[in-house]
Structure 1
Amino acid sequence: MKKKILYVGDSITEGISGVNYVKYIEKEFPNYLHINQGLGGDTLLGISNRLMSLLENEEFNYIVFEAGHNDIIIPYFEKQGLLLKMTAKKLRSRGSIPTDINNFKEVLENKMREIKKITNAEIILTTLSCIGEVLNSDLNNKRAVINRSIKEVAKKYKCKIANVGDAFDEKLRRVDSGNYLLGGFYKLMLIDPIFSKKNKWAEKISRHRKLYLTIDGVHINGEGAKIYANEIIETLRGCPDFV
């Protein structure tokens, strides 16, 4: 029976808008069963609760846990136009409730404690990539706070860390990215998911917006997906008994 790798996260992991990093890992490790449970718009609380439900019925060997982008983005939406405010309200109503960045570490600790009680799977936490490619923005400063929390919790609870955030930062410091961020409702929800299905289309969108690792400041293009995949692949290889 194949060993199973579970991926839980938000739209970055789901891969419907932008390029799906999980597909790169599938090609690298074809002898594993790869289960993608990413859900666009989900938050730390929503992702953690979904994972707890999954673990009630199934066992996994490795869990890749990606969460935190929407804990910043949903409050950002709530300060935008009507359609994005409605989107934020809908996400909250389904259980994708954002955690304040000042409480993120405590909530993540509590969830890791609960998850560790019901699974022996090796857990890999990923740090957040970017929220806009301009690194000194207010949203990326909030991301930095969350990334520090993720690293500290990973160390405390003996989780592996796939340090995507630092890899993104290193790359973005060497380029002059545009300040495009998510666009309006129609581009974000309707147009970009269709026109980024293929890598070459995603790259064209990125170039048009003067972006390097994402199509819209958040959802990743092929280069961004390779960073995610490479960081997770190297982390998986460092896990005990991973072959």
Structure 2
Amino acid sequence: MKIGLIGDSLTEGRPGVSFVNILKENYPKITFDNLGKPGETVKSLHTRLTKIKLDYDLIFLWIGVNDVYSKLLRVQAQPVANNPEEFEEYYNKVLELVIASSKQVVTVSPAIVGETSQNEFNKEIKNLSSIIQSLSKNHVNVSFLDMHSVFEIHLSRVTSSDYISIKVMRVMLDVLFYKNPTSIDRLSKKRGLHFTLDGIHLNSTGAALVADEYSTMIDRLLFNDHKSIQ
């Protein structure tokens, strides 16, 4: 049984803690292909997918956060969608490619840009999530996972700082010097954050949260465990 994990640096697991490694430990009999790429946007992902051939039992498609977050950076590694209409156009193209490559697909909404859920960036994330959900409803073999709402619920229970890394060099330094969960969680706490290292990328708590949501979908779609859905 093979699962493909398509996404950006959150899926790759750098910087921050990898939720994919948690899945690999929890499902030793499943092959997980980590297809995450740092800085990936919906437009750059479309270009990448047209050049590779995929074949999976289940694909998780987690893309979109960089179409908001990378606009805050001084250097944009990949082209971003200029508006919601362009995002919808390219996401639909990506989804069609993914559907043709897997028996089942889970579209995952972008999570957060900053742990202040009501900031302007997360309002944009919420809009993109609605677009993804709407497109997903058009396909019988596509399930939607609202990761933004998952984080929003958990953020409502804590008080986080508004820290967001907006300097590319700072992100690069985090990749180089904070590689193990202990040091990542320590820096996260120092920054006043609960689920991320820098407002975007996951710490141990955030990675466990994502892994749990992915596991719920895996159990339901591949093992018919409907009891795991509340």
TM exceeds 0.5? yes
Which of 199, 204, 224 does residue 186 from structure 2 map onto? Answer: 204
Query: Which amino acid counterpart does residue 127 of structure 1 have in structure 2?
Result: S
Q: CA deviation at 1:207?
A: 0.6
User: Does residue 75 of structure 1 match 2:42?
Assistant: no
User: Does residue 61 of structure 1 match 2:57?
Assistant: yes
Task: State the distance in 2 between where 1:5 and 1:166 align.
Answer: 24
Query: Which amino acid counterpart does residue 157 of structure 2 have in structure 1?
Result: R
Contact 2:49 2:94 in 1 (8 A): no
Q: Deviations over 1:62-101 (max 9, x none)?
A: 1111100111122222xxxxxx2xx31xx2xxxx321134
Q: TM-score, normalised by structure 2?
A: 0.90
Query: Which amino acid counterpart does residue 35 of structure 1 have in structure 2?
Result: D
Q: Deviations over 1:193-214 (max 9, x none)?
A: 1333111111101110000000
Which of 43, 46, 49 does residue 44 from structure 2 map onto? Answer: 46
Contact 1:7 1:37 in 2 (8 A): yes
Q: Number of matched residues?
A: 223
- Match in the other structure for 1:137: 119
- Match in the other structure for 1:182: 165
Q: 5+ residue gaps in structure 2?
A: 226-230
RMSD of aligned alpha carbons: 1.8
Task: State the distance in 1 between where 2:118 and 2:136 align.
Answer: 25
Contact 2:98 2:105 in 1 (8 A): no
Task: State the distance in 2 between where 1:123 and 1:8 align.
Answer: 11
Distance 1:110 1:186, change over 3 A: closer
Which of 2, 5, 12 does residue 4 from structure 1 map onto? Answer: 2
Distance 1:205 1:61, change over 3 A: same
Q: CA deviation at 1:240?
A: 4.8
Task: State the distance in 2 between where 1:7 and 1:115 align.
Answer: 11
Instruction: Give runs of ≥4 in structure 1 deviating > 4 Å.
Output: 240-243
Identity within the alignment, %: 23
Q: TM-score, normalised by structure 1?
A: 0.85
Q: 5+ residue gaps in structure 1?
A: 78-83
- Match in the other structure for 2:228: none
Task: State the distance in 2 between where 1:240 and 1:217 align.
Answer: 32
Deviates more, 1:59-68 or 1:99-108: 99-108
User: Does residue 229 of structure 1 match 2:225?
Assistant: no
Contact 1:161 1:235 in 2 (8 A): no
- Match in the other structure for 1:151: 133
- Match in the other structure for 1:112: 95
